[in-house]
Amino acid sequence: MTETHATKSRPWAWIPTLYFAQGIPYVVVMTISVIMYKRLGISNADIALYTSWLYLPWVIKPLWSPLVDLFKTKRLWILVMQALIGAGLACVGLTLPLPDFFRYSLIVLWLLAFASATHDIAADGFYMLGLNQKEQTMFVGIRSTFYRIAMITGQGLLVIFAGYLESHTGFTPVNFEVTSVKGINNTYLLPEGAISFNSGSQREFVLASESVKVGLSKLPAATVDSLKTAAVLQNTGNGFYQSEAQALKQKSEPGWFDSYIKLPLEGFLKSNFAPEKKAPSKTAGNIGVMYLKLSKDPGKETVVTVQKESGDASIQVLEGQRLVFNSNNWDKPAVILVQLDQKLTYSTATTFQVRSGNIPLAWSITFFLLSALFIGISLYHKFVLPKPASDKSSLTEGYKNILGEFFRTFALFFKKERIGVILTFLLMYRFAEAQLVKLATPFLLDAREIGGLGLTTGELGFVYGTVGVIALTLGGILGGLFASKYGLKKVIWIFVLAIHLPDLNFVYLAYAQPDNFLIINSMIALEQFGYGFGFTAYMLFMIYVSQGEFKTAHYAICTGFMALGMMLPGMFSGWLQEIIGYQHFFVWVILSTIPGFLIVLFLKIDPEFGKKTE
């Protein structure tokens, strides 16, 4: 059935911006906040603890999703939430210069997360009201694409912008180049008195040299550990940062679950499926050393960072990435250690930049910019979002029966025909993929002697960050167009095969361990394309089962089960892989696709749903 006013909705005018707006606050809360707090000097323990709680609103959003259906229109909810998100982003920027910024900014981010989760509910519901079935099917790949563009924008462009502001609000930054070359092995640490600096430098930052050459020969792992320990002791001894005391963890007695289920199961799997033990690598990538000090007293505590400016990602900073200079240590040498990826075998170079700046100001400006963007999006949507006649309050007896309507929303969902099959599909369709996605990256990075492919960091970034993203996006777009032409029911088995069969690529990669980079890229591209293509069926099925009186709330409930279906298998996948190894683990992943095939046999889908009509 075609929704009223759908022909006037001009989907291309609002779907890209709506789902871009859906992705930005999520990546701000879940990813950018972690980077920001790290740059502002918050400890890893506090960052991990407090930012993890920010995910909660998206987990429990089905609990208040009926309110979006019961009160006002989805269009109004979208506009109000976008305005609130814009205001919340500005408030985060205002809190950062404050002495107790961590506490206040967390409170604002928590409220921002609730507004963003509510916006997701309204946006997904409005998508089903503002488009007819054919348009819903055709644009399902487009909405996913612009959501991913928001992820890339947040994790890439916004962080780059904040970094640019950081480097232009303090001392003049300086660069030094690290080059990997053959035939040298020059790693050592000098005593403080033996370090030579350019005393005539007029810059605030003074380096011992402008370049470091590091040999491609590997070092014993024990030597690398001792070098890092010595550098840490020197930096902490001079007050460049404080080392965090590691509390001893006393091992408690195993509980009932560990004693009778987990430990016996581990024993059975280890004795029957554990891979043959191989000797761990006794070598590590070579180390280069750089020394840094200031030419004058900064007068106040100054945070200095060392970050990659350009070049090969296979050369990384091992120690000295964040240093704090003050009146007591400005003229003392800080140690910066850089390390080559031990799998690196060719000559290459990386430029690192030493910079300081007003970090709170830089991030405040970034959040003010985001705030202006969101307020602008809200104003834009006020004029371009359609006004479908079906977008209205679902209250049937006025405000006196709100509680009854609230619970009726959940009751109607769980009273749907074949609800058991529906929930099983939502939980099991991606049962295999939920495990695969957690271990794919570690598998590509791990050394060959322990079953991995031994890619360098730079190679991994190309495989997944470029080839994989392109393939995933193409798969999503083509999946939506394919389903809109034939309808979901007619082609659902093609989607099922597309998402599951490419998992065999990882079985091949684990057993053959090819070193041909083109083959590896081809295998990953095919798997990512299949996932993007096959995931279309999942998105469309959620839309299909959400049809009815409370489609917004029911879609939100579906997304809750979707998150659960990814969370639970992912929780035990790493534990299982460590026991049985990569080869047996990827075979297990293939066996895990069986429930995804079987449940499709029991689905009941209208043959005309999503099908292009004449």
Determine the length of the chain.
614
Asked whether residue 265 is domain-assigned, the answer is no
DSSP 516: -
Domain boundary pick from 345, 373, 393: 393
Residue 414's pLDDT band (boundaries 50, 70, 90)? confident
Residues near 503 by beta carbon (within 8 Å), at least 6 away in sequence: 432, 433, 436, 527, 586, 589, 590, 593
Please check whether residues 486 and 378 belong to one and the same domain. Answer: no
Tell me: do 74 and 212 sit in the same domain: no
Q: Give pLDDT, residue 260.
A: 63
Q: What is the CATH number of the domain that holds 50?
A: 1.20.1250.20
Is residue 89 situated within a structural domain? yes
- Regarding whether 83 and 2 lie in a shared domain, the answer is yes
What is the rounded distance in angstroms from the CA atom of residue 567 to the CA atom of residue 562? 9
Confidence class of residue 279 from pLDDT cuts 50, 70 and 90?
A: low
Please report whether residue 303 resides in a domain: yes
Check residue 111 and give its pLDDT. 93
- Please name the helix (run of DSSP H) or strand (run of DSSP E) that holds residue 457, with its range, or none: helix 457-462
CA of residue 38 relative to chain centroid, distance: 16
- Least confident interval from 154-168, 248-262, 404-418, 449-463: 248-262
> Nearest CA to 577 among 593, 588, 565, 566?
588
Within a domain: 189: yes
Express each pLDDT in 77-100 by its tens digit.
999 999 999 999 999 999 998 888
275 within some domain:
no
| Whether residue 107 sits in one domain with residue 210 | no
pLDDT tens for 506-519 read 999 999 999 888 99
Q: Could you report the per-residue pLDDT of 189-239, keeping only the tens digit for each?
A: 777 777 877 665 678 888 988 899 998 888 888 888 899 999 999 998 898
Strands (E), 493-558: none
Q: Quick one: 165 and 175 in the same domain?
A: no
Q: Are 424 and 589 within 8 A, CB to CB?
A: no
Q: In the beta sheet, which residues pair with residue 215?
A: 181
Through-space distance between the first and last CA atoms of the chain, rounded to whole angstroms: 13
Query: Residues near 259 by Cβ (< 8 Å), separated by ≥ 6?
Result: none
- Residue 80 inside a domain? The answer is yes
Q: What is the Cα gyration radius of the chain?
A: 27
Tell whether 102 and 37 lie within a shared domain.
Answer: yes
Kindly report the number of other CB atoms within 10 A of residue 470's CB atom.
Answer: 14
Q: Is residue 257 part of a domain?
A: no
Q: Kindly state whether residues 25 and 93 are assigned to the same domain.
A: yes
Find which of 161-165, 449-453, 539-543 is predicted with most confidence, using mean pLDDT. 539-543
Structure tokens at 350: 């990386």
CA distance 91 to 543: 35
Cα–Cα dist 146/279, whole Å:
46
Do 61 and 141 have their domain in common? yes
Pairing, β 302-311 against β 322-325: antiparallel
**Structure tokens that stand for 352 in this block:** 């690192």
Asked whether residue 164 falls in the same domain as residue 294, the answer is no
DSSP 205-237: EEES-SEEEEESS-EEHHHHHHHHHHHHHHHHH
Name the pLDDT band for 500 (thresholds 50, 70, 90).
Answer: very high
- Domain extent, residue 111, equals 1-169+358-393
Same domain, 379 and 426: no
Of the three residues 335, 367, 393, the one that is the final residue of a domain is 393
Q: What is the tally of structural domains in the chain?
A: 3
- Specify whether 80 is located in the same domain as 19: yes
Residues sharing a CB contact under 8 Å with residue 224, sequence separation 6 or more, in sequence order: 284, 285, 287, 339
Q: What span, in angstroms and rounded, lies between the C-alpha atoms of 392 and 409?
A: 15
DSSP string, 20-71: HHHHHHHHIIIIIHHHHHHHTT--HHHHHHHHHGGGHHHHSGGGTHHHHHHS
User: What's the whole-model pTM score?
Assistant: 0.65
308: left (phi over 0), alpha (psi -120 to 50) or beta: beta
Give the tens place of pLDDT for each residue, 343-374: 888 899 999 989 887 788 889 999 999 999 98
Beta strands 174-181 and 211-215, pairing class: parallel
User: How buried is residue 553: exposed, middle or buried, by Cβ count under 10 Å (0-12/13-18/19+)?
Assistant: buried
Mean pLDDT score, 586-612 = 86
In a domain, 268, yes or no: no
Q: Do 568 and 575 contact (CB within 8 A), yes or no?
A: no
**pLDDT above 50 (res 329):** yes
- Does residue 117 sit in the same domain as residue 184? no
